[in-house]
């Protein structure tokens, strides 16, 4: 299925994985809505909705930069309305925006707990809720949520329960929407990388340059997202995908070019045993 002239509403698309997915889809002729709260550049994180939109347009795509903090439903509604006015509807929703804190219970600040659940859980839910009237009218509707398979190995619960709960909730919503919307049909799937990905979060919050060098680039997740989104919504729904598996299914078995550093052992991502 061609994605040309479809419209993708991507949260957190000003940088990292969200921007990589935006650029990949733009190459296929998808209209991209950069929905994120970054209107001024953060020195540590880099990028704004405007610089991301400029990159997309520089690559030949059509982009709409919309300020959107998904904790604020009024901002979501405004972003959705501007998307519909610009492009006529919404075919694809990418739930990429997320907050992280890998802390145990006693070390988790209450405001950080609230932030993760307000963005990862409540925000994701409200984005889909407000995009749904347009998704249900699309002939090729997809929801793709960047969240992991639900793995009940105790180590993933014991090491950072607050963050784990929020990410597993995202996956549970993805699975729930697959069931709820399968007759429309609106596809809903989750996607997670096999290895850590070189993003600002990895460099600034998790493992610095050492972990970044043991990671892959955002391109591998972007390519996997493309292959999922071009599938028939009626036939490709209810899955918790791993990027490597998606690429293998599509005939790609050599992942060397995705590595940040050649001949370095890659670090398996969270929630994967």
List the catalytic residues: 163
Within 8 A by CB and 6+ apart from 199, the residues are 15, 16, 17, 218
CB-CB contact of 90 with 76 (8 Å): no
Indicate the angle between helix axes 16-27 and 219-229, nearest 10 degrees.
50
Nearest to 1 by CA among 184, 232, 223, 234: 232
Within 8 A by CB and 6+ apart from 62, the residues are 26, 31, 32, 56, 87
3-state SS record for 78-110: HHHHHHHHHHCCCCEEEECCCCCCCCCHHHCCH
CB-CB contact of 130 with 73 (8 Å): yes
Looking at residue 146, the DSSP 8-state letter turns out to be: E
């Amino acid at each position: 299925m061609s994605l040309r002239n479809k419209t993708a509403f991507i949260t957190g698309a000003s940088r990292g994985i969200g921007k990589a997915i935006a650029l990949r889809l733009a190459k296929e002729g998808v209209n991209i809505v950069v929905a994120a709260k970054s209107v001024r550049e953060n020195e540590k994180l880099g990028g704004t909705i405007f610089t991301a939109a400029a990159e997309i347009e520089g690559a030949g795509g059509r982009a709409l930069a919309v300020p959107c903090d998904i904790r604020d439903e009024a901002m979501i509604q405004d972003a959705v309305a501007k998307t519909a006015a610009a492009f006529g509807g919404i075919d694809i929703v990418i739930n990429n925006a997320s907050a992280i804190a890998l802390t145990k219970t006693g070390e988790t600040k209450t405001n950080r707990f609230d932030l993760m659940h307000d963005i990862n859980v409540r925000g994701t839910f409200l984005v889909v809720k407000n995009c749904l009237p347009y998704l249900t009218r699309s002939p090729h509707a997809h929801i793709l949520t960047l969240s992991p398979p639900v793995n009940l190995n105790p180590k993933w619960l014991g090491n950072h329960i607050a963050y784990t709960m929020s990410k597993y909730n995202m996956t549970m919503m993805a699975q729930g929407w697959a069931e709820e919307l399968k007759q429309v049909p609106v596809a809903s799937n989750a996607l997670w990388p096999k290895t850590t990905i070189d993003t600002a979060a990895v460099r600034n919050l998790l493992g610095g340059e050492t972990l970044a060098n043991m990671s892959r680039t955002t391109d591998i997740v972007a390519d996997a997202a493309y292959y999922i989104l071009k599938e028939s919504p009626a036939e490709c729904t209810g899955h918790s995908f791993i990027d490597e598996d998606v690429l293998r299914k599509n005939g790609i078995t050599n992942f060397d070019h995705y590595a940040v550093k050649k001949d370095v052992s890659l670090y398996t991502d969270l929630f994967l045993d």
